[in-house]
Every structure is written in structure tokens, then in C-alpha cells.
């Protein structure tokens, strides 16, 4: 993306983001319910969702196409139920699925789950989809086509991606079995992670959850950590999940089950050290993340009363980015406008005492830290690019005329605007119980 002009950058932000105006809809189910003595159930499934060679590559400059595959891209799903209600967590290896596509996945997944596992009771709004944000995946937004006015999205691939991802949710729901949930969190020493615009401003927290069945077999793990998977951005034409592939490899070597990497707050601009860029370096970084996760799991504590609570809300963000508007007008990016605003969504939910929030884009670590403080939980997950990919969600002072942050012009050009972060945080303040 760095090689793109202002219009492309603005489009990226708009495609990947949609900040909004006032609250337009809200769902809050069982947020105060008492789930004493419940039996937790979990199931998991995954599939490969790599595009064919020739697909447009998302990230950096336009008009780049894949010539092959280094490692496959996955859609991975975990469904968790407390017997009375359920929630699904889904992660897909790509740069970022936008809200309309996520809604299509949720609707189809709920339909399939109702047919395949009718007793699960999994409504569409409780299916939480996020993206790992690999810059070595296909253009799922439209911004990286042959030129500024040509979308790089392949509608045939997108239809397959939506269907395949939805199928994993239904398959996971059909495989529910009794589990215990173990959780740990900490700040591993991963010195290759940097905030290149505000050094020192990082959310270093890693949170890991493990679901183990009655035989002691791991059904799934969830690992939440924040860093762009961009070791190979702009230097490779091979399909890859970047360092996330190394994470998958090492986790799979040590534990059975599905292993979900849940991206964190990477906005404004949390990047890996790219000195000596190579797939070997990306693999090493991924193995570092996996080792840190496994080390935390060695000291994990069991959720003793793992009932599920859930709340979500749609909200609108005024569209102040003229580049985004131009892309929408040209049909390069396709998502509806609501009285000049972009509609998005955030969710808060809890499994026992472990809490989760979603951020609909690449948020500044400042807002991840604020979200964790608001939850005030021993263990918490902040899911970046969760339920939407709105681009950068920055601190409002990035937009001041005299701001001097490195890469400020690029970051603000790929942002919905200065109201995105305040509206997100007001929404989360309303969702998160006190």
C-alpha cells in the first residue's frame, strides 16, 4: 500500500473501515445472566482458503499477482457453548474482511449450523469473524486491482471463501463435546515487535485460551497478540500467512486441535523488525509467538464457572475521507452508506471470567489498553479487525495540522477519520458491563 497514491490509500481505509455516527442497532443477550455450574462444550474445524495463482495480492502496490504458494491460507473456527447459549470465534488468513462479507459469512454459517447442529442455538450475531491481516493474501477488499479504478476482488473466490468459512462454523458446532477451558496471559519478551510511529506505545499482552476434552486432548487454542504479519510484504509474490504460518506449524507440532491466531491492536503502526527479510525470518517469528503461547499455557488456570455472556452493537461513523467516497462511487469498494456514514459493529462477550472485545479495524494500541482497562478482567482478548476491517483507527491528534508522527500522511489517508476511535470507544463503554 505504501506505493499507492492518496486515492488508493483513502480507499483502503474506507474499504477496510467504516466508522460511524450514532448507534443504529444493538443486541445484548444475557449479559447479566447467572451461569452457575455449567458444562462447557467446544468444537473446532478448519479448511484451506488459498486463492489460485494469478489472484491480486493485497497490500503495498497495486497490480501484483501471485505466482505460487509458500504456505496455505486457512479459515479456522471454534464454537463454544455453555448448554444455554453459544458463541463462535473465526479467523481467516487475509488482509481484512469487511463487514458486509462478514455478515454474509455469519448468515450462511447460522443457516448451516441450524441444519447440521440444530441444538447448538448459534445465531448469526454471535459468530465473531476476524482476520489475521496478512499482506501476502488475496485482495478481499478491492483496493489492489490493476489500477485505481479497478477492483482486485474476484467474486468467484469471494463466494467460495464465504461458503467455506461458513462451513467451518457449522462443522465446529456439529463436533461440540465437553471441555474444560484453561486461560493464561502475560507479556512475552518479543523484541522484534515495534511501534514505528510511537515507540513504546504497544499492547504487549498475550492471552491464550485452551479447550481440553475429557481425554486430555486439546480441541482448540486461541492466541491473541498484536503485530502486523508483514515480514514478506512487497518482497514476495507467494501466497502466505507470513509469520502466522510459523505459529501454526509450531503449535501443531506440540498440541493437537485447531490453533487460532487472533490479531490484536496493530494500528499506528505496530510492525515486525524486517531486517534480513525472508520466509525463514517469518517462520522464526511465528515460532517465537507459539513458544510464548505454549509457555503461558504451562501456567494456565481453569475457568471454574464458564458461562457465556454476549453483547454487540452496530454504529455509524461519518465518512470524512474523500478518497474512500470516491472508491465507493466508482464501485471499487462495495459497501453501503447510511446518510453519508459507514456502518460497522463491535462486540463484547465473556466465557466465564475471560472477556473479549472486537475492534473493527487496525486500532492504535492506546485503545487496546483502554479496552482492557475497561474490562478489568484477569484475562482479556482484544480482537483487532474483528467484525470489520476499517483501516487505521488512530488517535484524533494524528489528524491535527501540526502533527509530526512518522508516516502520519499515509496512516491518516488510510483512515475513516478522527471520529472513528471516539465512536468505537463510546460503543465499547456501553457494551462492557461495569
d(CA 234, CA 64): 9
Residue 156 pLDDT grade (very low, low, confident, very high; cuts 50, 70, 90): very high
Terminal C-alpha separation, the chain:
40
| Cα–Cα dist 262/271, whole Å | 16
CB atoms within 10 A of CB 31: 14
Q: Distance between CA atoms of 226 and 93, rounded to whole angstroms?
A: 15
290-333 pLDDT per residue, tens: 999 999 999 999 999 999 999 999 999 999 999 888 999 999 99
Handedness of CA 281, 283, 289, 294 (dihedral sign): negative
Distance (Å, whole) CA 57 – CA 73? 13
Q: What is the b/e burial string over 50-76, where b = at least 16 CB atoms within 10 angstroms of the residue's CB?
A: bbeeebbbbbbebebbbeebbbebbbb
DSSP characters over 30-74 = STT---TTPPPEEEEEEEE-PPPTTPBBPSSSSS-B--EESS--E
User: Collapsing DSSP states into helix, strand and coil, what is residue 113?
Assistant: helix
Residue 119 has pLDDT above 90, yes or no: yes
For residue 317 the three cell numbers come to 461513523
Its pTM stands at 0.92
pLDDT in tens, 19-30: 333 333 344 443
Task: Report the percentage of the chain scoring pLDDT > 70.
Answer: 92
Highest mean pLDDT among 320-329, 386-395, 407-416: 386-395
| pLDDT at 38 (0 to 100) | 84
Question: pLDDT digit string (tens) for 21-55?
Answer: 333 334 444 333 333 578 999 999 999 999 999 99
Q: What percent of the chain has pLDDT over 90?
A: 89
Strand partners, 15: none
Amino acid at each position: 500500500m505504501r506505493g499507492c497514491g492518496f486515492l488508493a490509500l483513502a480507499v483502503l481505509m474506507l474499504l477496510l473501515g467504516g466508522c460511524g455516527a450514532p448507534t443504529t442497532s444493538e443486541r445484548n443477550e444475557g449479559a447479566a445472566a447467572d451461569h452457575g455450574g455449567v458444562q462447557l462444550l467446544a468444537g473446532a474445524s478448519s479448511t484451506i482458503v488459498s486463492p489460485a495463482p494469478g489472484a491480486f495480492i493485497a497490500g503495498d502496490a497495486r497490480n501484483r499477482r501471485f505466482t505460487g504458494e509458500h504456505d496455505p491460507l486457512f479459515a479456522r473456527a471454534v464454537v463454544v457453548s455453555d448448554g444455554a447459549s453459544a458463541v463462535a470465534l473465526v479467523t481467516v488468513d487475509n488482509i481484512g474482511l469487511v463487514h458486509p462479507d462478514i455478515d454474509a459469512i455469519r448468515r450462511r454459517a447460522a443457516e448451516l449450523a441450524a441444519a447440521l447442529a440444530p441444538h447448538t442455538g448459534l445465531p448469526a450475531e454471535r459468530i465473531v469473524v476476524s482476520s489475521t491481516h496478512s499482506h501476502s493474501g488475496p485482495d478481499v477488499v478491492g483496493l489492489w486491482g490493476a489500477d485505481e479504478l479497478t477492483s482486485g476482488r474476484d467474486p468467484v473466490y469471494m463466494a467460495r471463501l464465504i461458503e467455506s468459512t461458513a462451513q467451518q462454523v457449522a462443522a465446529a458446532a456439529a463436533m461440540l463435546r465437553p471441555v474444560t477451558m484453561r486461560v493464561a496471559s502475560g507479556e512475552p519478551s518479543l523484541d522484534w515487535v515495534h511501534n514505528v510511529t510511537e515507540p513504546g506505545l504497544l499492547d504487549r499482552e498475550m492471552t491464550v485460551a485452551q479447550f481440553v476434552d475429557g481425554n486430555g486432548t486439546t480441541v482448540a487454542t486461541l492466541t491473541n497478540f498484536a503485530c502486523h504479519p508483514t515480514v514478506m510484504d512487497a518482497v514476495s509474490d507467494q501466497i502466505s500467512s507470513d509469520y502466522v504460518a510459523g505459529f501454526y506449524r509450531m503449535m501443531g507440532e506440540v498440541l493437537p486441535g485447531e490453533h487460532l491466531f487472533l490479531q490484536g491492536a496493530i494500528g499506528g503502526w505496530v510492525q515486525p523488525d524486517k531486517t534480513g527479510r525472508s520466509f525463514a525470518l517469518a517462520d522464526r517469528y511465528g515460532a517465537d509467538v507459539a513458544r510464548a503461547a505454549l509457555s503461558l499455557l504451562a501456567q494456565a488456570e481453569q475457568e471454574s464457572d464458564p458461562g457465556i455472556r454476549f453483547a454487540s452493537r452496530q454504529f455509524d461513523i461519518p465518512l470524512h475521507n474523500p478518497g474512500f467516497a470516491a472508491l465507493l462511487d466508482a464501485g471499487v469498494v462495495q459497501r453501503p452508506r447510511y446518510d453519508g456514514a459507514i456502518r460497522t459493529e463491535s462486540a463484547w462477550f465473556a466465557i466465564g471470567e475471560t472477556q473479549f472485545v472486537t475492534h473493527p479495524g487496525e486500532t492504535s494500541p492506546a485503545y487496546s489498553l483502554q479496552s482492557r482497562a475497561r474490562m478489568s478482567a484477569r484475562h482479556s482478548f482484544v480482537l483487532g479487525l474483528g467484525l470489520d476491517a476499517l483501516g487505521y483507527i488512530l488517535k484524533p491528534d494524528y489528524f491535527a495540522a501540526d502533527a509530526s508522527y512518522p508516516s502520519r500522511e499515509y496512516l491518516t489517508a488510510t483512515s475513516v477519520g478522527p471520529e472513528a476511535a471516539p465512536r468505537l470507544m463510546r460503543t465499547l463503554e456501553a457494551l462492557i458491563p461495569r
